[in-house]
Amino acid sequence: MEKRNQIIIQSAENERKKAELEDKILNQIANSEQDILEDDVLIVTLDDSKAQCKQIEQQMKEAENTMAHIENIRDQFVQVAFRVSRLFFVLVQIMNVDPMYQYSLKFFKMIYTRALDNADVNNIEKGKRQERKNFFIKEFTRLLYENICRSLFEKDKLLFSFLICLKIMDEIPDNLNQAEVRFIMTGGTRVEMRKPNPTGEGGWLTDKTWASILQIADEFPAFKGLDENFEKHIKEWERIYNLQKPQSKKAKWPAPFNEITLIR
């Protein structure tokens, strides 16, 4: 980045010098009192300007090649910058959970620098750019998670993990269904039931929960048929409902809903 800034400053300076030389030549031509072909001062100025312009053009050509090389390297690490910038906003979100969770940009940059330094510690060769890029992404994500979790209450660690997961999933266009995310975060909004509660009045399943099941079965393709499956396997769903960890892989859900990985 420092080299790139130096080249930008040098390029601007060279452009300024070229403009000054052109103005100087035009001014001497305009104010020449004799034939310009016999004006020794003008001829000397033209010779000096030609030499300086040649030197400036050479510098600008070298700067252009260097900038192209830098941009090529930058393009190869866009994914790293994309991941890092997105995870910064997870810290902004977690601040809304508790005002005690405050993290500075300096702290965030320190974690990023450590991730870069760890590539050399792990002996990942600079020539293996794809390998280094993948390492930077994984290492930064790991370091950020571990360092932030040290300052979180136990009850907020799962939420923090979930927010990171959502940011990573959303890196791929259309990979994350925002409507499903809103439903998970806010719960069901439907109050009317198009079917009666299969557990009956006062059963283990509340009317609000049943209304939510009907809502996701109607609105989300991945959950289509959940209401019918629920009615058909009511005893199995009651068993899952009473488990301490129903999201565990050991809890066997009625097919095909045992494959819903987002919930698990």
Binned at pLDDT 50, 70 and 90, residue 161 comes out as very high
Mean pLDDT over each residue of the chain, to the nearest integer: 82
Averaged pLDDT for residues 158-178: 88
Q: What is the pLDDT of residues 182-197, one digit of tens each?
A: 888 888 888 888 889 9
Q: Is the pTM here over 0.85, yes or no?
A: no
**Residues of the chain with pLDDT > 90: what percent?**
28
pLDDT band at 76 (very low <50, low <70, confident <90, very high): confident
CATH code of the domain occupying 78-176: 1.10.8.1220
Token couple for 209? 């929960």
Q: Name the token pair of 168.
A: 């990573």
- pLDDT 10s digits, 46-65: 677 777 777 777 877 877 77
pLDDT at 4: 67
Would you kindly state where each structural domain of the chain is located, as residue ranges?
2-76, 78-176, 185-259
C-alpha 112: how far from its chain's center? 13
pLDDT at 150: 93
Contacts of 169 (CB under 8 A, 6+ apart): 175, 176
